[in-house]
A and B are shown apart, each in its own frame.
Chain A
Amino acid sequence: MSVVMSLLRLWRPMILWFAVILVAIEVAAVAAISTAGPVRFSFWLVVAGASAVYWPLVAGILLVSMFFRLFMANGVTRHEFLRGIALFALGVTIVFPAVVVVGHAVESVVLGLADHRAESYPVFRFGEAAAEYFHLLPATAGFVTSGILITAAFYRFRPWIGVLLIAPGSVPALIGNGLIQIDDSGELIARLPYAVALTLTAVAVVLGWAATHRLLRDVAVKRSAT
């Protein structure tokens, strides 16, 4: 079985639990908020939007710290592992923003049917779905890349060098989330022309992966996770 398929099977229980908890919180919170009157903001965009940024960061950290040794011990080469986590990170980058958009659509429709949307609620419009998706995707890509890169630096070097490298390792996340984002009220933000911001994010992500490859391509397999 390939590295990416093995990762999916290993993470499946975690992903399912995460999804169940996220949906349970959404349903409970929106139901509670609705009792006080029409809902004025998208709870899903707040919670799932943050998850689409921070969960990929955590996933990136765990991919290296938990699984590098495990896969190496099972006869996988460093390059095969790097390819596998790159595909996994690509999947996270594609799927997470889609989950946020779909969840926003469901929340908006349900609240609309129940007539519980306030004036300020960011109503989901199908025509804006793609724009919403592409305003979430750069941050997700940046955070998962930074999680992997920072952990790879800690794995390769001594802890104090790892601490020093947190700053450059954070660049993909900072650019991805700093230039393009969607706020809690559903407003789409691009601090530079979108194409420029997207290009800068893409460059940061590619450089982040090049640095990760440089760090892990011949690293010794340590006895500890980092």
Chain B
Amino acid sequence: MIEMRGVTIRYGDTVAVDDVHLTLPTGKIYGLLGRNGSGKTSLLSALASYRRPNRGTVLVDGVEAFENPRVMRGTVFVRDTLDLNDSDRVRTALEVAGWLRPTWDAEYALKLLDIFELDSRKRVSALSRGQRSVVGVVLGLAARAPLTILDESYLGMDAVARTLFYRELLADYLSHPRTVILSTHLIEEVADLFERVVIIDRGRILLHDETDALRGRGVTVTGPADRVTAFAAGHTVLGEQSLGGVRALTLDGRLEPGEIARGEQAGLTFGPLGLQDLFVHLTSQRLEASR
């Protein structure tokens, strides 16, 4: 069990994380969602003991995580900016991880490099943004750490590489279960991986729930624009998309079976709530106010 008790992180007058209480059962894949500057990285830094909270504590299996050798050895935190020296070769970075991490799987690291077609002889300074992301992902996955935190570390990858990453992450998670926390802006793309979702906004936890439960909180209605608009009357709309004469609305709350049957008779289709729509709705009061 990973617990954050009253964690507050300040940078001068700015409060990045504000009195966060969060309990994360282990052995699950978490999605940490938040807008830019919402406090995601600060929260993860505290979880990984990269930063001591100004107030509060982080506990892993009941013991304080900060400067705890066992906990730190069992945590890997990969940031979008790699914590490597530019002059080092990729091979050296992997070797160092092998020397220091008891759970490091060198064979798997080489397999990942092969999958992502990255030459381990390259220096970090010579890597493209996407290749740097690949190195981060390899360091994160091959560490096989009980707590694996990837902070937007795969955003530089192209679509093919990201797909390979999602596939590898899921396969490795199933064969070596552990706690994985993914922070991302590519919500819909990665949403199917999440078992639980944590949404943070302005340093506070807005929501923490099972992904399936969140998807059940609403429904997406798609069909001809006029019929969708008529159907949605009286419902709270969380999000909308239009393409030509087709409109998709995300509605808050569950629909009665009779309502769904009527809608289907009218040529509408129904789907689960999109996580991104829920996220945008929950974190965009300013956006709504500006409309």
| Segment from A15-23, A71-79, A88-96, A106-114 that makes contact with B | A71-79
Q: Which of A52-60, A124-132, A165-173, A217-225 contacts B (4 or more CB under 8 A)?
A: A217-225
Q: Beta-carbon contacts of A200-226 to B below 8 Å, as 1s and 0s?
A: 000000000000000001101101010
Taking the complex as formed, is A70 at the interface, i.e. its CB lies under 8 A from any CB of chain B? yes
Complex interface: chain A residues within 8 A of B68 (CB): 77
| Nearest opposing residue in chain A for B85, CB measure | A66
Q: Considering residues B45, B69, B78, which has the most beta carbons from chain A within 10 angstroms of its beta carbon?
A: B69
Q: Is A192 located at the chain interface by the 8 A CB criterion? A: no
CA of A9 to CA of B96, assembled, Å: 9
In the complex, whether A69 has a CB less than 8 A from a CB of chain B is yes
Check if B84 sits within 8 Å of A70, measured CB to CB: yes
Residue B97, interface by CB 8 Å:
yes
Q: Does B67 contact A (CB under 8 A)?
A: yes
Contact A70 B96 (CB under 8 A): yes
Report the bound CA distance from A132 to B139 in whole Å.
47
CB proximity to A under 8 Å, residues B168-197: none
A79 to B69 Cα, complex, angstroms: 9
Contact A6 B50 (CB under 8 A): no
Interface presence of B109 (CB below 8 A): no
List of A residues within 8 angstroms of B85 by Cβ: 66, 70, 225
Give A78 to B69 CA distance when docked, in angstroms.
Answer: 9
User: Is A75's CB under 8 angstroms from B75's CB?
Assistant: yes
Residues of A within 8 A of B92 (CB): 10
**A1 on the interface (CB 8 Å rule)?**
yes
A75 touches B76 (CB 8 A): yes
List A contacts of B162 (CB < 8 A).
none
A184 at the interface (CB under 8 A from B): no
Interface string of B76-88 (1 = CB under 8 A from A): 1111010111000
Chain B interfacial positions (CB closer than 8 Å to A):
45, 49-52, 66-69, 72-79, 81, 83-85, 92, 96-97, 99-101, 139, 143, 145
Residues of chain A whose beta carbon lies under 8 Å from any beta carbon of chain B? 1, 5-6, 9-10, 66, 69-80, 217-218, 220-221, 223, 225
